Amino acid sequence: MAWNLSIKGNYFYAIDTEDPFTVNDCPKSEVRIAKSNTSSTSFRFIYRGLDVTGMSNVPMTDIIAENGTDFTDLATFEVWKNENTGKSDASANGAGWFDYNDSATAITPITITGGGGFVDLTNDELGGFTNKDYPPFGIADVYDADNNRFDWSELKLGDTVDIRLDLEVTTVSTNTEIDVFLLMADGDGSYQIPFVAEQNYKTAGTYNVNRYNGVYMGDSNTLDNFARFQMKSDKTCDVVVRGWYCKVTQR
């Protein structure tokens, strides 16, 4: 199955080339096109936070331009989708938020082995304070609890995400130093955003760790890849992930 894409006035059209009676039509300002979760050369078409029928994983080779030719390369298609889709109605709600509260680590904290390198911080979003009732317009989620990672596929270039990190750290040794980073663009082009840098706890005890920072979708490397929280410590400690609050602002 291949799809012929076109923009007519304020509407986005996708016509199944094998069955021309199968047509998806949506207001173009509410259509988002993101890289598929399963392939870097496939795309997911999203309308109001849900996959467009039959278009949840469309290979680049099955996307045809209005003139009947294939898009020449990924870069050409990226330019087309950024120019023709995505929320542009200034009257629409361009901001919203999610609060992801973990349940598992409240029972079994994550142990960070001293000197052992970075460990992923998990969040099952099954805690009683999880709240996803106020999302931004057209965005269903930004965190994938099944894989413990942020998924920006419903965002677009220029969108921003402000994140409040909420942890409880228990140290058992004096002068324990911790670092918590948000690993962005997980893969060959990854980079780190520091949330907690070289924080030293002089005495053993339990500490509340709250940090607020922001990230932006400044390039396709950031937008099309996942992100995850990671922590390390020079001495062994335990961490309870209370959760993270995410405010999304759309361009």
The domain limits of the chain are 3-84, 95-249
| More reliable by pLDDT, 91 or 39 | 39
Alpha carbons 138 and 27: distance in angstroms, whole number: 12
Please state, for a pLDDT cut of 70, what percent of the chain lies above it: 94
Give 122's DSSP letter. Answer: P
pLDDT of residue 87: 47
Contact 143, 213 (CB under 8 A): no
Alpha carbons 108 and 240: distance in angstroms, whole number: 8
pLDDT (mean) for 224-239? 97
| More reliable by pLDDT, 217 or 37 | 217
DSSP-derived pairing of the beta strands 160-171 and 237-249: antiparallel
Q: Which two tokens stand for residue 4?
A: 């012929």
* Helix segments in 119-237, DSSP class H: 220-223
73 Cβ contact partners less than 8 Å away, ≥ 6 residues apart: none
Side-chain-side CA neighbours of 60 within 13 Å: the count stands at 15
**One-letter amino acid of 248:** V
Confidence check: pLDDT of 30 > 90 = no
pLDDT (mean) for 170-176? 97
pLDDT interval class at 95 (50, 70, 90)? confident
- With H, G, I as helix, E, B as strand and everything else as coil, classify residue 229: strand
pLDDT (mean) for 28-43? 77
pLDDT interval class at 90 (50, 70, 90)? very low
Confidence check: pLDDT of 209 > 50 = yes
What burial letters (b/e) apply to 61-100, b meaning 16+ CB within 10 Å? eebbeeeeeebeeeeebbebbeebbbbeeeeeebebbbbb
Highest mean pLDDT among 25-29, 30-34, 220-224: 220-224
Confidence check: pLDDT of 89 > 70 = no
pLDDT (mean) for 37-41? 70
pLDDT of residue 170: 98
For residue range 133-154, what is the model confidence (pLDDT) as tens digits?
A: 888 877 889 999 999 999 999 8
Phi-psi region for residue 102, left (φ > 0), alpha (ψ -120 to 50) or beta? beta
Q: Which two tokens stand for residue 241?
A: 């992930």
Phi-psi region for residue 17, left (φ > 0), alpha (ψ -120 to 50) or beta? alpha
pLDDT interval class at 20 (50, 70, 90)? confident
Contact 10, 29 (CB under 8 A): yes
φ/ψ of 178, rounded to 5, equals -125, 155
Confidence check: pLDDT of 88 > 70 = no
**One-letter amino acid of 213:** N
- Whether this prediction's pTM lies above 0.85 is answered by no
**One-letter amino acid of 112:** I
CATH number of 95-249: 2.60.120.760
Confidence check: pLDDT of 234 > 60 = yes
